[in-house]
Structure 1
Amino acid sequence: MSKREGLRADSTHFTLGGAPFLILGGSIHYFRVHRAHWRDRLLKLKACGLNTLTTYVPWNLHEPERGVYLFQEQLDMEEYIRLAGELGLWVILRPGPYICAEWDLGGLPSWLLQDKKMKLRTTYSGFTSAVNSYFDNLIPRITPLQFKNGGPVIAVQVENEYGSYAKDEKYLSFIKEALLSRGISEFLMTSDNHEGLKCGSVDGVLQTVNLQRLSGDVQHLAEMQPKKPLMVMEYWSGWFDVWGEPHHVFSAQEMISIVRELLDRGISINFYMFHGGTNFGFMNGAVDLGSYKPETSSYGSVVLIFMTTGTIIMYILKGYVTLVRLCKDAGLIYTDINYRSKLNLSIFIRLQSLKWMPVGQKPTYPAFFRGTLVVDQPTDTFVKLPNWSKGVVFVNGQNLGRHWSVGPQKALYLPGPWLKSGDNEIVVFEELKAAETIHFAENPEYSKTVEVSTQLFCTLL
């Protein structure tokens, strides 16, 4: 990567290294994709003709407890960015601190709420102090990876869709200064939907827009920023699902028509998402517009045809597992799943030592069930639980997420790297009703689907 002049917006088109540059981006979140698959997913992004990777940075994973910072293994953000650079991709980083992303508390750590006076996403001292401490640890990891230092990071986003929140007019300036004062020197931008553009600006920072259809949003942005490049920071190439409602689909032909028009007009674009990945564990967010609607474990994936044909191929495993049930005494059941220090819950202390019985004997719910999957060669697969009701699935101590018969998600993605040759322990926590087997299949499964365009919430955004 060159140390030439970075991303600039001095006219109606971006330049990079002094040459005209059209941002063709795609979002893949490192924390939603197993590390062993990072290279594969990034190569697919590049194979589709894209030149830029965009990713959020989840504060709640990187600082799960106040003052405890995790940037190793699955959370090695720096290695992810370096890998993108090695593959010839530029990077737009979106460090928040609030990221939305349909992620638990929008990526803000839950320990912030221990302060009963907490005012999130404002200049309240309790919040800004926590942000400053986090940025003191985060930003020095980013600065060596900036374009001016030979790295792939060409731009950094200031917060995320703040115009839709806008509780403190001083807040965005605080975040901007927090980035600049710690050495961020690359191009800065914000990201908002149509309505959010009104209140989501900050001096010296380019505004970008989020959309799924061309209904005046781009023209509105052009009028707000004359003689500046136009960018759709989030072109929603799909939509997230919530439990108990249909699976969202988006017509490929409609998408191609919109993308073609944007490109014909020289408008930069970022596909959100290029590959959605998975909300492993309990990190899925929720929507509450009068009624609470938790999102599914799957964040979806997009197979994109763009400039060249690209497909995502999953290698799979077929079979089924017969389970045994934990014998439940009066009181609580304690277990001992190895969370590899990611979760240290007392309820998982005595699993291996307790008595288990064949599942054929009528269980008392809620209950834990355990089985063994024998694997010759580990590879990706999907876990299906027909005739089960609602609970959580663990494989070799890894929390795959929730299962729930109401759908629309009917299978949980199991990355091959979480399996091993030989015996693999499968544990299912079930709240209401269990069957004697679970299945492993080559494809995901959804219940009924619905076109995104028919959903009022999606249309309003």
Structure 2
Amino acid sequence: MDFATNQTLDFETGAHNFERLLETAKRVGLYVIVRPGPYVNAEANAGGFPLWLTTGAYGTLRNDDARYTAAWKPYFSKFSDITSKHLITNGGNAIVYQIENEYGEQWTDVDTKTPNAAAGRYMRSLEDTARENGIDVPLIHNDPNLNTKSWSQDFAPNATGNVDVAGLDSYPSCWSCNLDECTGTNGQYVPYQVINYFDHFQEVSPTQPSFFPEFQGGSYNPWGGPEGGCPADIGADFANL
């Protein structure tokens, strides 16, 4: 079966009805940053992708492969359409809309700003789909670290796939109680190391808000992690950082 063309979209039953979350947030006076994916990470199985998408039948994923596009577009179109009713521009409480997550793939070489054409087309397709389905609030992105410098209009004016407000994802301590999980991305683990975010934002997005869509609030304990987790890494010293 070609699941991409035979999808059943369920935004009504049980926890699938995300409108209830938006309505509850509005009732208690909260604004909402909407982050629909299609890839969400969030330490979820397959980053939130349905497992049928991971069989290899839909290409390498998170690019402009036509097979992958056919898989995400019905979901993303419907999600955007439903969300449009809850935007602040329509009297709701959703203030911005995130395109993809931790997708710092704009460049094959960030120093020379050599574009990754497939990644740019993928981002633009997501953005166009959101706009076509009623999303008229700013589109945002969550850059996975300080090195990728992707999707900011300030950093590369008029580049394909840029968003309205570029954001940064950062975990100044290890995001995992198993430190080995972090060294491949963060390098040597240095507890409570201070990072100079100001210079990064001055370089990448000086005319935009200095924006963290995702910033560390703790560390999770993975399967096989230390017994009791890592309270010393997320205690008073970390809160002070």
**TM exceeds 0.5?**
yes
Shift of 1:85: 0.4
Give aligned pairs, total. 196
Which amino acid in 2 is paired with 1:170? R
Correspondence list, 1:37-436, <5 A = 66-71=6-11, 72-114=13-55, 116=57, 118-163=59-104, 168-195=119-146, 197-201=148-152, 202-213=161-172, 214-246=194-226, 247-249=229-231, 250-258=233-241
- Tell me if structure 2 keeps the 8 A contact 1:193–1:210: yes
Q: Sequence identity of aligned pairs in percent? A: 26
Aligned to 2:115: none
- Tell me if structure 2 keeps the 8 A contact 1:162–1:192: yes
Which structure: larger Rg?
Answer: 1
Mind listing any 5+ residue stretches in structure 2 that lack a counterpart? 108-117, 153-160, 173-193
CA distance in 2, matches of 1:161, 1:235: 12
For residues 251 and 138 of structure 1, do their structure 2 counterparts lie closer, same or farther at Cα, with a shift above 3 Å needed? closer
- Tell me if structure 2 keeps the 8 A contact 1:208–1:232: yes
Which amino acid in 2 is paired with 1:177? D
Whose strand proportion is higher, 1 or 2?
A: 1
CA distance in 2, matches of 1:196, 1:120: 22
- Tell me if structure 2 keeps the 8 A contact 1:155–1:189: yes
Mind listing any 5+ residue stretches in structure 1 that lack a counterpart? 1-62, 259-461
Which amino acid in 1 is paired with 2:8? V
For 1:397-448, what per-residue CA distance to the aligned partner results, in whole angstroms no more than 9, with x for missing partners? xxxxxxxxxxxxxxxxxxxxxxxxxxxxxxxxxxxxxxxxxxxxxxxxxxxx
- Tell me if structure 1 keeps the 8 A contact 2:88–2:95: yes
CA distance in 1, matches of 2:139, 2:37: 12
Which amino acid in 1 is paired with 2:123? L
CA distance in 1, matches of 2:147, 2:90: 33
CA distance in 1, matches of 2:4, 2:220: 25
- Tell me if structure 1 keeps the 8 A contact 2:99–2:123: yes
Whose helix proportion is higher, 1 or 2?
A: 2
- Tell me if structure 2 keeps the 8 A contact 1:156–1:187: yes
Q: Which runs of 4+ in 1 moved over 4 A?
A: 63-66, 164-167
- Tell me if structure 1 keeps the 8 A contact 2:167–2:212: yes
| TM-score, structure 2 normalization | 0.73
Partner SS for 1:245: coil
Give the CA RMSD over aligned residues.
2.5
Partner SS for 1:208: strand
Which amino acid in 2 is paired with 1:67? Q
| TM-score, structure 1 normalization | 0.40
* Range moving further from structure 2, 69-78 or 91-100: 69-78
